[in-house]
Amino acid sequence: MFDAASLNILALLACIAGGYLSGTIPFGLLLGYVFGLGDIRKIGSGNIGATNALRTGNKAMAALTLLGDVLKGTVPVALALAILGPVYAAVAGVAAFLGHLFPVWLGFKGGKGVATYLGVLLGIAPIGVVVFAIIWLSVAYLTRFSSLAALLATLIVPIAYYVLDYHTAALLTAILTVVVYIRHHANIRRLLSGSEPKIGAKTT
């Protein structure tokens, strides 16, 4: 028989493993083959996320990639929240986020994490999705830079959570935001140099 402490550890490990494995599903890569576009890592930024998928010119594939990358953050968080509670949900969310960034199946070379970040927000505190969407859509519309929109949105979300008294969510997303900025270091350099590709631009 397991005691309470053992059950807690097992539950924690299940959240880590389940969240990570969910995050490692490479929707962009799989859908690229399904749509007959081949390996999307060979175009544009070489990323498996929705922004690079859009550079193929196939909007349906890009939209499905975005949906998949969001859901692989939301599903483990929602399950953990319903069964175990908010602390475990947060652990599952971090694991899913890191799984997307560092998938074992792809040599730990994954996406930038923004869509999965959004999925985690949806599962933990949905008001963050509203804040993210407003900032992202506004910046993307004005600048046509997906990376800049994501960087500003992920910067504002923890601040908004803190102001709205979601302090745990604020701390969690602040940590995730730091990781997002680290993963976007190349985009930041290109934005500063004026060489960052805009939304919808095909790159071969």
**Residue 146 pLDDT grade (very low, low, confident, very high; cuts 50, 70, 90):** confident
Q: Is 165 left (phi over 0), alpha (psi -120 to 50) or beta?
A: left
Which long-range CB contacts under 8 A does 189-195 form with residues at least 24 apart? Answer: 190/147, 191/145, 191/147, 191/148
pLDDT mean over 151-173? 91
CA dist 87 and 33 (Å) reads 37
The confidence score (pLDDT) of residue 204 equals 46
Judged against a pLDDT cut of 80, whether residue 200 lies above it is answered with no
Percent of the chain with pLDDT over 90: 63
pLDDT of residue 201: 62
Residue 136, both tokens: 């992202």
pLDDT at 1 over 50: no
Task: Tell me the C-alpha distance between 132 and 155, whole Å.
Answer: 9
What pLDDT shows up at residue 7? 64
One-letter amino acid at 202 equals: K
How large a percentage of the chain has pLDDT more than 70?
Answer: 94
Over residues 16-73, the pLDDT tens digits come to 999 999 999 999 999 999 999 888 888 877 888 887 888 888 889 999 999 999 999 9
Give the predicted TM-score (pTM) of the model. 0.85
